[in-house]
Structure 1
Amino acid sequence: MTTGKEATLHQRILSDIEGQIVSGAWPPGHRIPFEMDLAEQYDCSRMTVNKVLTQLARAGLIERRKRSGSFVTHPQAQSAVLEIHDIKSEVLSLNLPYSHKLTKLVKRNGRAEDARRLQYVGSLPVLEITCIHYAGPRPFCVEDRVINLDAVPEAADADFATLPPGPWLINQVPWSTAEHQIRAIAAESDAAANLDVQKGTACLVVERRTWSAAGPITHVRLTYPGDRHSLVARFTPSS
């Protein structure tokens, strides 16, 4: 059985190594310190270190080689990449003032819908957030988000009325994987009211999940009026 102290140490080692990789301090091909060295550094058993490295390998962040050690993996080529942009930067690029309004903040136990959104099996505490982002006086988009509080417990005490959850999360916790889904919808009553458009107006929805080696971090649904937003991806031919 894993004790609370062991679980906390496991998370600390995991976060430290993941942070070095995601920040670029340990680039692709970098050799991770050997298990015995990490065990000595953190004053723990090699079994604890082994579990951390196994979790990082399953997340695709490192590659473990027999008799050679563990190495930071080289990123896999993608046909196109959609970056995580800051909504405030998008608005300012239009030469319009940015603001946001927090309309919902609820800490609760996860439901089946949250498990689907986070792609998580089981139950976990979540923070449910709704924000309206403005470009000048007009709504720019509506943000509906759930945050896994097991992965980011600090979110429960964050002041999202001052700083939106998107940039707060980027500054708070490193993510290793992201997934985007883009689709068109006809605005339902709530979305239409928040965006100040007619019910049934064509809208663009961008859904994004992010993970770290420790599991899912957040799922966000961004809804934009269809006539006010477009997505552009620039890419080059694969070699």
Structure 2
Amino acid sequence: MSDFTLDGQGPVHGQIRRAVAQAILSGRIPPGGRIPPEAELMALFGASRMTVHRAIAQLASEGLVRRNRRAGTIASPEARGRAVFEIWDIGAEIAAAGGTHAHDILYRATRPATAADAAALTVEEGAPLLALTTRHLADGAPVQLEERRIHLAAAPAAAAERFAATPPGRWLLDHIAWTEAEHAILATRTPPRIARWLGMEAGEPALVVERRTWNGEVPVTFARLWHPGGRHRLIGRFTADQGGLPGPRARAQQRG
């Protein structure tokens, strides 16, 4: 029980979800291992039953835990295979490196999906979405530009959220369940519109991560994350999981 530590970021149910997920993905709770009953988690975190139940329900919807009336809640045997980028958050990475994270919203529009939006988000053209461009800074220096599309049918509360205290990606992790994610990583030259916001010269190399998430069959969000190629890298670490299956871990690293 002492392994569970809240990070103080965002709603309590989201903090509990991340604390338990981290214990599963790090192997402290092995595949098939028992998750403490909700009553124990309530006492540990000083949280209400509804708050704890919501956190565990989200873990179940994401496939990280399985719930059984007789056996209780256990870590899903497939959970470690979901570890790539599972808890990767630029703000958390900057804080872990001892830096100070800040963000600003550069563009925001609620509108029907264009043909390009529809292809990126895998929705019908004209579907309601929230388009955002967010810049992330570490100690005042820009390190990531986030171009994001949120499917409002999957996350209607996002339409009213200003993202002043919490950036869009972190807010989605805290409030919207997802069951499947897809990532693509590529290197490309930075176009002028991106270079301007990242303090780069147009044409400089950039590392780009594209991420899509779904909740069941419903698309939730698409994000294109731009990073200065000379100041950013992704590190993947793989360990043997039970049954000989890979258990990947990944993290982002800033290079000054």
Q: Taking structure 1 as reference, are residues 148 and 232 closer, same or farther at Cα in structure 2, changes over 3 Å only?
A: same
Shift of residue 23 of structure 1? 6.6
Does 2:46 align with 1:28?
no
- Provide the rounded CA distance (Å) in 2 between the counterparts of 1:184 and 1:169: 26
- Provide the rounded CA distance (Å) in 2 between the counterparts of 1:76 and 1:93: 24
Matches within 5 A, 1:79-94: 81-94=84-97
Quote the residue 2:147 is aligned against: 144
Quote the residue 1:38 is aligned against: none
Quote the residue 1:217 is aligned against: 220
| Counterpart contact for 1:80–1:233, Cα < 8 Å | no
Show structure 1 runs of 5+ residues with no match: 1-14, 32-72
Does 2:95 align with 1:100?
no
Show structure 2 runs of 5+ residues with no match: 1-53, 70-75, 245-256
Match of 2:58 among 5, 19, 25: 19
Shift of residue 232 of structure 1? 1.1
Match of 2:234 among 208, 227, 231: 231
| Counterpart contact for 1:151–1:214, Cα < 8 Å | no
- Provide the rounded CA distance (Å) in 2 between the counterparts of 1:130 and 1:92: 22
Structure with more strand by fraction: 2
- Provide the rounded CA distance (Å) in 1 between the counterparts of 2:232 and 2:91: 14
- Provide the rounded CA distance (Å) in 2 between the counterparts of 1:29 and 1:92: 33
Quote the residue 1:120 is aligned against: 123
| Counterpart contact for 2:105–2:133, Cα < 8 Å | yes
Q: CA RMSD in A?
A: 2.8
SS at structure 2 position matched to 1:114: helix
Shift of residue 93 of structure 1? 2.4
Q: What percent of counterpart residues are identical?
A: 36
CA displacement 1:48-102 (0-9 Å, x = unmatched): xxxxxxxxxxxxxxxxxxxxxxxxx863885983334111111122322111111
Greater displacement, 193-202 / 206-215? 206-215
| Counterpart contact for 1:80–1:235, Cα < 8 Å | no
Q: Taking structure 1 as reference, are residues 17 and 162 closer, same or farther at Cα in structure 2, changes over 3 Å only?
A: closer
| Counterpart contact for 1:18–1:174, Cα < 8 Å | no
Q: Taking structure 1 as reference, are residues 120 and 75 closer, same or farther at Cα in structure 2, changes over 3 Å only?
A: farther
**Structure 1 residue ranges (4+ consecutive) displaced by more than 6 angstroms after TM superposition:** 15-18
Aligned length: 184
CA displacement 1:84-123 (0-9 Å, x = unmatched): 4111111122322111111101000011111111122453
Shift of residue 28 of structure 1? 3.5
Q: Taking structure 1 as reference, are residues 76 and 137 closer, same or farther at Cα in structure 2, changes over 3 Å only?
A: closer
| Counterpart contact for 2:213–2:222, Cα < 8 Å | yes
Per the normalisation by structure 2, the TM-score is 0.64
- Provide the rounded CA distance (Å) in 2 between the counterparts of 1:188 and 1:16: 40
SS at structure 2 position matched to 1:233: strand
| Counterpart contact for 2:210–2:224, Cα < 8 Å | yes
SS at structure 2 position matched to 1:222: strand
CA displacement 1:181-207 (0-9 Å, x = unmatched): 000010100110010011111010011
Q: Taking structure 1 as reference, are residues 227 and 105 closer, same or farther at Cα in structure 2, changes over 3 Å only?
A: same
SS at structure 1 position matched to 2:144: strand
